[in-house]
């Protein structure tokens, strides 16, 4: 039997070869990948371990409103608040999805000016929170800047941790000189809020995430490629067409990234060519936790894999890693309302020599015109040449952006959102045109919900 696929596996290697099965490879190459970076919780679906989450510590003097702000950000009453001084006595943690940056942990801390008998022990706990934090949110109120705030800035600076000043109780109207002082002390323009007023949440989160995207190093903005979607010791089946567009002698970057990330999740990657895929799928001893394919063969994956198994495409995984999967999903719904004559921008983040059946220049225009039943006006942009006049387009279809960093892609998405133009990506566009978008968004329930919501609005 020809063995047209290869397996990469860590400790879970033997789960795909139970004794009762007769499927025997002709050659086994085992390479042992030792992951000594412990990731508690990795085995739970959609449960990003804390070590991989963005960590934000809320610090400040007693009664500054740290816990009230913590509850506003998390949209829960997770931390006790009261006018009594020293209400919070230990670090309170809460995990959340901080869109569009990804999974985060919020850390509420005790007032740093606590002079009670236990004050120094509480300060020690706050210090440990600052040690862990990617950024400190220094909560203060109009006119409140003294030794405590200076101390927190100094501690954060010693750790090279950025400090975002947050002026709470904005309704007390902080004067411009105070806001300037905070910017001078921290290097960052303060965010203002009335933490007690939950209607401020959305505006505050937009300001906060934009600031974080600006100041955090790229490495902290990156999400896992896929290993947060799969349990440890599970099997992930990958379908990678080896056709005329495949690079000679190697795999394309998203395929390599997927295999590496599956190993990081202590799971098993089984990679099959398109022609061998149905055969390999039927011979797997265990149901795969996830199936991923190239967008261009998505219909073959859907035809083989039952809908109960989560399945998606490399391109959709890339859109999540590099951009905001929910913005792309919402934009994807606009494909259903495209009319002949509409302006559509196809944006690619690099310049490359287009093949005869190039996905951006040929395949996607053909699919979209077939779907809307007439000619569309296409514009094309490549590399850094991303147009400023986005509002003249009915839809933007962006490539996977593998050459962009996440910040750059988020900026492109923000400018589309600000211009009121839906933006979708290649993988989702192909899936939508082939009528399988619901299936390939199945591993991302929030994105699927967003897609359906936008469809309902039409």
Ligand X SMILES: Nc1nc2c(ncn2[C@@H]2O[C@H](COP(=O)(O)OP(=O)(O)OP(=O)(O)O)[C@@H](O)[C@H]2O)c(=O)[nH]1
The answer to whether residue 267 forms part of the interface with ligand SF4 (CB under 6 A) is no
For tokens 């190039």, the residue is 358
Q: What are the φ and ψ backbone dihedral angles of 267, each rounded to 5 degrees?
A: -115, -175
The answer to whether residue 354 forms part of the interface with ligand SF4 (CB under 6 A) is no
Cα atoms in the Cβ-side hemisphere of radius 13 Å centred on 457:
10
Question: Judged by CB under 5 A, which of 5, 48, 55, 67 binds Mg ion?
Answer: 67
C-alpha span between 379 and 385 (Å, rounded): 12
C-alpha span between 424 and 397 (Å, rounded): 5
Q: How many residues does the chain have?
A: 458
The answer to whether residue 181 forms part of the interface with ligand SF4 (CB under 6 A) is no
Which does residue 194 bind out of ligand SF4, ligand X, Mg ion, none, counting CB within 5 to 8 angstroms by kind?
ligand X
197 or 366: whose CB is closer to ligand X? 197
The answer to whether residue 255 forms part of the interface with ligand SF4 (CB under 6 A) is no
The answer to whether residue 315 forms part of the interface with Mg ion (CB under 5 A) is no
User: What is the sign of the dihedral through the CA atoms of 356, 358, 361 and 365?
Assistant: positive
Smallest separation (angstroms) from ligand X to the CB of 387: 41
Question: Cα–Cα–Cα angle for 90, 159, 106, nearest 5°?
Answer: 40
The answer to whether residue 256 forms part of the interface with ligand SF4 (CB under 6 A) is no
C-alpha span between 192 and 307 (Å, rounded): 46
Smallest separation (angstroms) from Mg ion to the CB of 79: 6
The residue range among 60-68, 101-109, 181-189, 345-353 that interacts with ligand SF4, by the rule CB under 6 A, is 345-353
The answer to whether residue 350 forms part of the interface with ligand SF4 (CB under 6 A) is yes
For tokens 């600006």, the residue is 214
* Token pair for 351: 């310049």
The residue range among 113-121, 224-232, 322-330, 395-403 that interacts with ligand SF4, by the rule CB under 6 A, is 395-403
98 or 327: whose CB is closer to ligand SF4? 327
Smallest separation (angstroms) from Mg ion to the CB of 153: 20
The residue range among 56-64, 103-111, 188-196, 346-354 that interacts with ligand SF4, by the rule CB under 6 A, is 346-354
The residue range among 14-22, 137-145, 342-350, 370-378 that interacts with ligand SF4, by the rule CB under 6 A, is 342-350
C-alpha span between 64 and 152 (Å, rounded): 14
* Token pair for 248: 């000679």
Which does residue 420 bind out of ligand X, Mg ion, ligand SF4, none, counting CB within 5 to 8 angstroms by kind?
none
- Residue 50's contacts (CB-CB under 8 Å, 6 or more residues apart) are 40, 41, 93, 95, 105
The answer to whether residue 397 forms part of the interface with ligand SF4 (CB under 6 A) is no
113 or 261: whose CB is closer to ligand SF4? 261
* Token pair for 257: 């990234």
349 or 447: whose CB is closer to ligand SF4? 349
Smallest separation (angstroms) from Mg ion to the CB of 205: 20
C-alpha span between 377 and 334 (Å, rounded): 16
DSSP letter at 361? I
* Token pair for 267: 């799971």
C-alpha span between 289 and 270 (Å, rounded): 11
Question: Judged by CB under 6 A, which of 69, 349, 421, 429 binds ligand SF4?
Answer: 349
88 or 123: whose CB is closer to ligand X? 88
Which does residue 46 bind out of ligand SF4, Mg ion, ligand X, none, counting CB within 5 to 8 angstroms by kind?
none
User: Which residues contact ligand X (rule: CB under 6 A)?
Assistant: 62-68, 81-83, 85-88, 110-111, 168-169, 194-196
Q: What are the φ and ψ backbone dihedral angles of 183, each rounded to 5 degrees?
A: -70, -40
55 or 63: whose CB is closer to ligand X? 63
Other residues' Cβ atoms within 10 Å of the Cβ of residue 251: 16
129 or 432: whose CB is closer to ligand SF4? 432
For residue 273, is the peptide bond before it cis, meaning its omega torsion is within 30 degrees of 0?
no
The answer to whether residue 400 forms part of the interface with ligand SF4 (CB under 6 A) is yes
In 3D space, the residue among 437, 427, 420, 417 whose CA is nearest the CA of residue 333 turns out to be: 437
C-alpha span between 136 and 231 (Å, rounded): 32
Which does residue 320 bind out of ligand SF4, ligand X, Mg ion, none, counting CB within 5 to 8 angstroms by kind?
none
61 or 406: whose CB is closer to ligand X? 61
108 or 348: whose CB is closer to ligand SF4? 348
Question: Judged by CB under 5 A, which of 5, 74, 88, 311 binds Mg ion?
Answer: 88
C-alpha span between 138 and 159 (Å, rounded): 15
Residues that bind ligand SF4 (CB under 6 A): 348-350, 352, 399-403
């Amino acid at each position: 039997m020809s063995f047209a696929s290869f397996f990469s596996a860590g400790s879970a290697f033997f789960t795909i070869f139970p004794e009762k099965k007769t499927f025997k490879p002709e050659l086994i190459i085992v390479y042992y990948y030792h992951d000594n970076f412990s990731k508690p919780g990795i085995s739970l679906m959609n449960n990003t371990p804390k070590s991989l989450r963005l960590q934000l510590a809320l610090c400040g003097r007693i009664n500054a409103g740290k816990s009230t702000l913590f509850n506003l950000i998390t949209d829960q009453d997770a931390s006790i608040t009261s006018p009594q001084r020293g209400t919070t006595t230990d670090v309170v943690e809460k995990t959340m999805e901080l869109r569009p940056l990804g999974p985060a942990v919020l850390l509420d801390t005790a007032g740093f000016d606590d002079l009670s008998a236990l004050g120094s022990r509480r300060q020690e706990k706050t210090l440990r929170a600052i040690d862990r934090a990617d950024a400190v949110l220094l909560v203060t109120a109009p006119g409140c800047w003294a030794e405590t705030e200076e101390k927190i800035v100094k501690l954060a600076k010693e750790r090279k941790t950025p400090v975002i000043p947050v002026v709470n109780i904005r309704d007390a109207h902080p004067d411009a000189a105070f806001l300037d002082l905070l910017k001078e002390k921290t290097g960052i323009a303060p965010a203002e809020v009335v933490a007690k007023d939950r209607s401020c949440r959305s505006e505050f989160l937009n300001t906060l995430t934009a600031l974080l995207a600006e100041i955090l190093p790229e490495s902290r903005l990156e999400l896992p490629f896929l290993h947060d979607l799969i349990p440890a010791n599970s099997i992930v089946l990958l379908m990678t067409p080896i056709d005329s567009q495949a690079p000679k002698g190697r795999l394309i970057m998203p395929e390599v990234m997927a295999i590496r990330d599956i190993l990081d999740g202590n799971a098993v990657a089984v990679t099959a060519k398109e022609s061998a895929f149905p055969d390999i799928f039927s011979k797997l001893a265990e149901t795969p936790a996830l199936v991923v394919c190239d967008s261009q063969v998505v219909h073959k994956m859907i035809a083989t894999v039952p809908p109960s198994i989560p399945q998606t495409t490399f391109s959709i995984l890339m859109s999540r890693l590099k951009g905001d999967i929910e913005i792309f999903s919402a934009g994807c719904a606009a494909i259903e309302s495209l009319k002949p004559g509409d302006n559509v921008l196809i944006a690619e983040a690099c310049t490359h020599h287009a093949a005869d059946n190039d996905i951006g220049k040929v395949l996607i225009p053909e699919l979209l015109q077939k779907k809307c039943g007439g000619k569309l006006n296409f514009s094309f942009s490549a590399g850094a040449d991303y147009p400023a006049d986005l509002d003249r387009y009915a839809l933007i279809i962006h490539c996977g952006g593998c050459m962009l960093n996440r910040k750059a892609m988020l900026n492109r998405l923000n400018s589309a959102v600000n211009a009121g133009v839906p933006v979708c990506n290649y993988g989702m566009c192909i899936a939508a045109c082939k009528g399988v978008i619901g299936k390939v968004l199945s591993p991302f329930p929030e994105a699927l919900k967003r897609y359906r919501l936008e469809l309902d609005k039409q």
